[in-house]
Amino acid sequence: MKSFDAIVIGAGQSGPFLAARMVEKGMKVALIERKFLGGTCVNAGCMPTKTLVASARAAHVARNGAVYGVNLQGEIAIDMKVVKARAETVTMNARNGLIGWFAGMDGMTVIYGHARFEGPKTVSVNGETLTAPRIFLNVGARPVIPDLPGINDIDYLTSTSIIHLDTLPRHLAVIGGSYIGLEFAQMYRRFGAEVSVIEHGPKLASREDEDISDAIADVLRSEGIDIHTGASDIAFAKSSDGITVATDSARIDATHVLIATGRKPNTDDLGLDTAGVITDKHGYITVDDRLATNVDGILALGDCNGRGAFTHTSYNDFEIAAANLLDGDDRKVSSRILAYALYIDPPLGRVGMTEKQARASGRKIMISTRPMSRVGRANERGETKGFMKVIADAETKKILGAAILGIEGDEVIHGIIDAMNAGTTYPALQWSVPIHPTVSELIPTLLGDLKPV
């Protein structure tokens, strides 16, 4: 049996950085990863997909160059092999960077293999048994495959496998109208494929307010994406030239199908029951406000704990754990103000409460909206789709939440994120003097238009 000061299972966006901090403190750490360092973000999520989004945007801008006085001869051609290779290069650069970083650390042992608990302080991997007083789980999540008629009879794609395509589908059917599905839908439409989105619920991006959801749908439809919401009785069948997707109200003849109906934690094969670690009905590891499980010495970080489903929340889990365990601090998950983005184009930046949540809270609230068509920078760039929206507490003057669906919305939202984290009231933020011409310069104006509801 090999002994360590700590064992980290999973090398996503929490575990490796926590392992490095512990090594800096002179600890002996084992980092176990069953596949690739970097987790979903580096290998099958943010980095490759946003690289693909960038290629798709380049195609879109080139295709619409005449609007800006830039005339290109002939049709815009997409070389999917180059597109794929570019995304792979970005991934491999990041992965190899981690490999090199860890190789230079005394006290760090990287083990590739599948770890399972043998007890609350021991795990087995590759036929060896390791033990440590502290074990950290950062095992991530994977795509959910729903049990739909005919799904096992077709060759479907997931968010993991679609990034490896080096040919362009003639017609891509996307099952699921949430964040991952919508990003791939617009991306492949811009590459030149026909795209249909099939969503069981009544609207796209169901977490958002109805006006945001409707605006997202308008953006996608304007680019020629076929959207089917409220779809039930979804079934699949092979056809002579691809796959038939049938619903209660439509029939789509596709060549490729992407299943984008959510994700589930990678916790079902870790032997958690052997260690006594409790999970909820969906398989997420139950943790307290400091990320500790019910078993002393075992913490769960990142997607597998159900307290966030983003790279930045996973990284913040590392920050919380490191602060509490190594720096004598007392950080809590509940102190985190949730923010995220949807990377369609234009992107959606979101922070805090939706309007629906704010109304349900019983607070006296104020709301302001502003169309991107009234933003100078958006007009100069010729990208006026979407709008800004902010919700504030009428009594405390604190900002409760905001949504910016529009050009650079994923960056502009950070001004509001920072203000909310600092506890700044909206009247104080109104007195900021932003740079002109930017999208962010409209935040004080947006706040100045807040009205009670």
- pTM across the whole model: 0.96
Decide if 312 is catalytic. no
Position 178, amino acid: S
Q: Tell me which H or E stretch contains 252.
A: strand 251-254
Count of CA atoms in the C-beta half-sphere (13 A) of 312: 7
CATH topology of domain 339-452: Enolase-like; domain 1 (3.30.390)
Q: What is the pLDDT of residue 74?
A: 86
| Number of residues in the chain | 453
Residue ranges, CATH 3.50.50.60, the chain: 2-142+264-335, 151-261
Q: What is the pLDDT of residue 241?
A: 87
| Of residues 205, 437, 251, the one with CA closest to residue 344 | 205
As a whole number of angstroms, the distance between CA 438 and CA 375 comes to: 8
The domain over range 151-261 is classified in CATH as 3.50.50.60: yes
Residue ranges, CATH 3.30.390.30, the chain: 339-452
| Of residues 412, 399, 405, the one with CA closest to residue 443 | 412
Sheet containing strand 339-342, strands side by side: 339-342, 348-352, 399-405, 387-393, 365-371, 451-452
Sheet containing strand 194-198, strands side by side: 226-228, 194-198, 171-175, 256-259
What does each of the 453 residues of the chain score in pLDDT, given as a tens digit?
A: 999 999 999 999 999 999 999 999 999 999 999 999 999 999 999 999 999 999 999 999 999 999 999 999 888 999 999 999 999 999 999 999 999 999 999 999 999 999 999 999 999 999 999 999 999 999 999 999 999 999 999 999 999 999 999 999 999 999 999 999 999 999 999 999 999 999 999 999 999 999 999 999 999 999 999 999 999 999 999 998 899 999 999 999 999 999 999 999 999 999 999 999 999 999 999 999 999 999 999 999 999 999 998 999 999 999 999 999 999 999 999 999 999 999 999 999 999 999 999 999 999 999 999 999 999 999 999 999 999 999 999 999 999 999 999 999 999 999 999 999 999 999 999 999 999 999 999 999 999 999 999
As a whole number of angstroms, the distance between CA 218 and CA 228 comes to: 13
Helix (H, G, I), strand (E, B) or coil at 285: strand
As a whole number of angstroms, the distance between CA 266 and CA 138 comes to: 9
As a whole number of angstroms, the distance between CA 441 and CA 426 comes to: 14
| Packing angle of the helix pair 179-191, 210-222 (nearest 10 deg) | 20
Matching residue, tokens 């933003």:
375
The answer to whether 187 and 157 have CB atoms below 8 angstroms apart is no
Please state the φ and ψ torsions of residue 257, each to the nearest 5 degrees.
-125, 125
Q: Which CATH superfamily is domain 2-142+264-335 in?
A: FAD/NAD(P)-binding domain (3.50.50.60)
As a whole number of angstroms, the distance between CA 231 and CA 378 comes to: 35
Q: What is the pLDDT of residue 252?
A: 97
